[in-house]
């Protein structure tokens, strides 16, 4: 038997095979009817990850889902969950004279509470540069010893090890002119926040593939055991998603919630121990400020004592102030699974990708951007 090469395993056309997709959808129709009957007429699953939102929208599969199934977007886009107060702190850093701000491109157009974004700050004279890796920012700090270089670190357990690695490298190099923000959020506490809301109507979680590749399966066990909510770690190809939904539906129908791994070609039960070790060295669990939720203890990562000197917020003494959401924007409700983008009165009218009002329309992983581009 021919063994599939790694490239074939990860991007095989089988993951997009029409006949297999049709058979998965046929199975879904029967399962969704049974699951919905048990859940009062409809069954709601949340795709926690922004890339799942984009993949569902881009494939057009939502239109083929059985009418009883609703896929809700969750708090899985790193840009969208960053609180308005933290966006304001990013803009305050950009206003510090002489500082070079380095960032991934997604952060450029997220507006602060005064209507400015990093793009506008650049037009006003701030030195804001897009980089493709935080290591590029470290290299820039080496090349510009007379300037302070700040990397805008936001995201989840996926981006944190990459940024942690860059900070560890800066420490090894003895760089005194490199620092980063650590606006990192943790996915398992986010799930607990959602589930502890008595108004939540989530019957299952499609769990993020990349985050799970780092943290493994164990941190999700409480969802199935304490809250009795099914979980399936799912990949990003169309058949991954259809299979993941069917696995969730089977758990609902059987009444036996558990944490399953559809994406086992990438995600292992123990996660990535090397990345976990790096995370525990560079960061420590701390309070985090979430859009629409507020500041919640033990839901994020900040710098550990050993790496505290690399915290840009402390170095430049930038205070935190709560700031309101953009007027009329429903990103908060969307992130909590309480609304879909078309429920927002600004969607596609005052708010489009070229003149975004809220972060869910700005980010490449944002739910509003996905619905606008692909129609849901
Ligand atoms: S970083 Fe990866 S796992 Fe997290 S939201 Fe983005 S795509 Fe999903
Ligand atoms: S459409 Fe725009 S204003 Fe409405 S929720 Fe989405 S990002 Fe916010």
Structure tokens at 163: 């940024």
Question: 156 near 186, Cβ under 8 Å?
Answer: yes
> Residues 90-125: pLDDT tens digits?
999 999 999 999 999 989 989 999 989 999 999 999
Mean pLDDT, the chain, as a whole number?
Answer: 93
User: Helix/strand/coil (H, E, C) string of 98-156?
Assistant: CEEEEECHHHHHCCCCCCCCHHHHHHCCCEEEECCCHHHHHHHHHHCCCCEEEECCEEC
Q: What is the mean pLDDT of residues 137-145?
A: 98
Q: Which atom of ligand 1 is found nearest the CA of 158?
A: 1
Structure tokens at 87: 């966006």
Strand, helix or coil at 185? Answer: strand
How far apart (Å, rounded) are the C-alpha atoms in residues 358 and 97?
28
The answer, yes or no, to whether residue 230 has pLDDT greater than 60, is yes
Q: In Å, how far from its chain's centre is CA 72?
A: 14
The answer, yes or no, to whether residue 38 has pLDDT greater than 70, is yes
Q: Which of 81-85, 143-147, 225-229 is predicted least confidently? A: 81-85
Question: 124 near 157, Cβ under 8 Å?
Answer: no
Q: What is the pLDDT of residue 106?
A: 86
C-alpha to C-alpha distances, 313 to 44, 46, 166, 274, nearest whole angstrom = 39, 33, 17, 27
Q: What is the pLDDT of residue 99?
A: 98
What confidence category does residue 27 fall into, taking pLDDT thresholds of 50, 70 and 90? very high
Q: Which residues contact 61 (CB under 8 A, 6 or more apart)?
A: 21, 238, 241, 242
Q: What is the mean pLDDT of residues 115-137?
A: 96
Residues of the chain with CATH 3.40.50.11740: 44-322
Ligand nearest to the CA of 368: 2
The answer, yes or no, to whether residue 185 has pLDDT greater than 80, is yes
> Residues 289-313: pLDDT tens digits?
998 788 999 999 999 999 999 999 9
- In this prediction the ipTM stands at 0.74
Q: What is the pLDDT of residue 104?
A: 94
Q: What is the pLDDT of residue 10?
A: 52
Q: In Å, how far from its chain's centre is CA 213?
A: 14
Q: What is the pLDDT of residue 1?
A: 43
Q: What is the pLDDT of residue 50?
A: 87
Pairing of strands 231-233, 204-207: parallel
Question: 74 near 335, Cβ under 8 Å?
Answer: yes
How far apart (Å, rounded) are the C-alpha atoms in residues 302 and 334?
26
Q: What is the pLDDT of residue 6?
A: 53
How far apart (Å, rounded) are the C-alpha atoms in residues 138 and 165?
10
How far apart (Å, rounded) are the C-alpha atoms in residues 155 and 152?
10
Helices (H), the chain: 6-11, 18-38, 50-59, 78-81, 84-94, 118-123, 134-143, 159-173, 187-195, 209-215, 221-225, 238-254, 273-282, 312-315, 331-335, 359-362, 367-374
CA of 285 to the centre of ligand 2 (A): 30
CA of 225 to the centre of ligand 1 (A): 24
Q: What is the pLDDT of residue 78?
A: 85
As a residue count, the chain comes to: 376
Q: Which atom of ligand 2 is found nearest the CA of 334?
A: 5
Q: Residue of the nearest CA to atom 7 in ligand 2?
A: 358
Q: What is the pLDDT of residue 79?
A: 86
CA of 346 to the centre of ligand 2 (A): 6
* Beta carbon of 335 within 6 Å of any ligand 2 atom: no
Q: What is the pLDDT of residue 11?
A: 59
Q: What CATH fold (topology level) applies to the domain 44-322?
A: Rossmann fold (3.40.50)
> Residues 279-293: pLDDT tens digits?
999 999 999 999 878
Tell me how many degrees the CA angle 262-197-49 measures, rounded to the nearest 5.
30
Question: 317 near 212, Cβ under 8 Å?
Answer: no
Q: What is the mean pLDDT of residues 117-143?
A: 97
Ligand 1 lining (C-beta closer than 6 Å) = 49-51, 76-77, 156, 158, 208-211, 365
CA of 211 to the centre of ligand 1 (A): 6
Ligand nearest to the CA of 360: 2
């Amino acid at each position: 038997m021919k063994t599939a090469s790694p490239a074939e395993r990860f991007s095989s056309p089988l993951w997009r095979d029409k006949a297999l997709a049709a058979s998965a959808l046929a199975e879904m129709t029967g399962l969704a009817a049974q699951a919905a009957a048990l859940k009062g007429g409809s069954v709601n699953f949340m795709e926690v990850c922004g890339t799942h939102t984009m993949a569902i929208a881009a494939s057009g599969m939502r239109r083929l889902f059985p009418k009883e199934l609703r896929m809700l977007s969750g708090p899985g886009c790193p840009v969208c969950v960053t609180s308005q107060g933290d966006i304001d702190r990013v803009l305050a850093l950009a206003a510090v004279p002489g500082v070079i701000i380095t960032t991934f491109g997604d952060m450029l157009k997220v507006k602060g509470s005064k209507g400015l974004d990093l793009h506008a700050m650049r037009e006003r004279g701030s030195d804001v540069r897009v980089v493709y890796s935080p290591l590029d920012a470290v290299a820039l700090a080496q090349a510009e010893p007379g300037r302070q270089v700040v990397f805008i670190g936001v995201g989840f357990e996926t981006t944190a090890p990459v940024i942690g690695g860059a900070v560890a490298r800066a420490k090894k190099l003895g760089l005194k002119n490199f620092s980063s923000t650590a606006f990192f959020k943790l996915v398992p506490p986010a799930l607990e926040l959602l589930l502890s809301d008595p108004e939540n109507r989530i019957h299952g979680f499609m769990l993020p593939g990349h985050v799970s590749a780092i943290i493994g399966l164990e941190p999700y066990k409480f969802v199935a055991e304490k809250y009795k909510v099914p979980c399936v770690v799912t990949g990003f190809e169309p058949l991954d998603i259809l299979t993941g939904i069917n696995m969730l539906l089977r758990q609902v129908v059987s009444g036996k919630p558990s944490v399953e791994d559809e994406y086992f070609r990438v995600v292992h039960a123990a996660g990535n121990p090397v990345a976990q070790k790096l995370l525990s060295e560079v960061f420590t669990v701390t309070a985090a400020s979430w859009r629409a939720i507020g500041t919640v203890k033990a839901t994020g990562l900040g710098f550990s004592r050993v790496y505290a000197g690399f915290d840009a917020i402390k170095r430049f003494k930038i205070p935190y102030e709560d700031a309101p959401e953009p007027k009329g924007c429903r990103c908060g409700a969307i992130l909590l699974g309480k609304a879909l983008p078309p429920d927002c009165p600004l969607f596609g009218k005052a708010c489009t990708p070229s003149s975004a009002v809220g972060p869910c329309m700005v980010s490449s992983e944002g739910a509003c951007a996905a619905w606008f581009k692909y129609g849901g």
